[in-house]
Amino acid sequence: MSLLPGVTFVIPVHNGEAWLDRTLSAIFAQDDGRAMEVLAVDDGSRDRSRTILESYARFGRLEVLDGAGLGAAAAINQGIRRATHPIICQVDQDVILHPGWLSSLTSELAAQDVAAAQGYYVAPAHGSIWSRVMGLDLEHRYGQIRNPHAVDHVCTGNTAYRASALASVGLLDERLGYGYDNDISYRLIHAGYRLAICREATSTHEWRDDLVGYLRQQYGFGYGRLDLVTKHRRRLTGDDVSRFDMMLHAPVMAVAVVGLAVAAILALFGYASLLLAALSGGLVVMLAGERFVAGVRAARKFRDRAGFLFMPVHLVRDLAWTAAILVWLGRRVWGGTSRPAHSMHPREVNLR
């Protein structure tokens, strides 16, 4: 019998047909002789996800749980509560683990003060420019982390957690959409635990591959970040993964867009507007310049030409974040409250 600690893989599933076979195959390939279980929480999929999961379940390779339709955080919590092993490996339906992922992450958890260890996303070599830029941008941000063995944020979807640590802080906040991973990280840090990012545990994330999907996801990121900083006001300046320069982009672009809109209205009614338009345009140029420099550095460091498209792709991202700010503020003014579905929009599915 293996002396290695047992692990439970928890996979929240919603319309994941396109990736599930590869995701599950990569998980089963992590088997290193330890006790291992795989729990898939189907949260109302409308594609063939359920059929795929049940085909694996028939052979005893995983257990399928019925989600309550309350969002990803609730689905993950459902799996965590059902888990029987001391380590929870939370993997998203579109994340493909590379060989050695499990052994590398569980080695990080050998230190009792480490509550979670995240794997390292490698930018996908295939796919559209939207997915390549998203992957390279994240890889570039990871590369800027000075001490990966003591970070203040690990992403769910690619991470091994100590089950006892999750239980001690009350699991994930089911009221949050995007940002619940930041929230659980901040609470674990506050409880005295350490978090780590393990560069040896690599995986590929199948990011949104078209413009519409990219815009929807980026809008969700922006909206979820507002809910997050409302709960954790000290995190307004960001964390190790989303640094202050990145956090500035959304509000600066929002000010620029509002300024240009006001300038256009003033010009329409014959009032002076040139100075306001010039100042607002200058803000956009400043954002573009920062992204151009960052993209060139990423392209050189990782030898990936996708970095040269950081500027246009990230200006589009900033506009999506601006839309999220305006909608979020509108809901607040009218007395509305945020729900997970406001930020986490599932991918479109072609029903056959």
pTM for the whole thing? 0.93
Query: Count of domains in the chain?
Result: 2
Q: Does some domain include residue 86?
A: yes
pLDDT in tens, 276-312: 999 999 999 999 999 999 999 999 999 999 999 999 9
Same-domain status, 184 and 307: no
Angle at 314 between CA 310 and CA 315, to 5 degrees: 120
- Rg from Cα positions in the chain: 21
Structure confidence by residue, pLDDT tens digits, 148-177:
999 999 999 999 999 999 999 999 999 999
pLDDT in tens, 49-100: 999 999 999 988 899 999 999 999 999 999 999 999 999 999 999 999 999 9
298 in a domain, yes or no? Answer: yes
Share of the chain above pLDDT 90, in %: 88
Residue-level pLDDT at 114:
97
Contacts of 173 (CB under 8 A, 6+ apart): 73, 180, 183, 184, 231
The DSSP output letter for 345 is P
Residue range of the domain that includes 309: 236-343
Q: For residue 1, what pLDDT is reported?
A: 58
Residue 231 is assigned to a structural domain of this protein = no
**Co-location of 240 and 204 in the same domain:** no
Output the DSSP codes for 276-317: HHHHHHHHHHHHHHHHHHHHHHHHHHHT-GGGGGHHHHHHHH
Tell me, what amino acid is at 344?
M
The verdict on 153 and 271 lying in the same domain is: no
The answer to whether residue 104 sits within a structural domain is yes
Element (H, E) at 169: helix 163-169
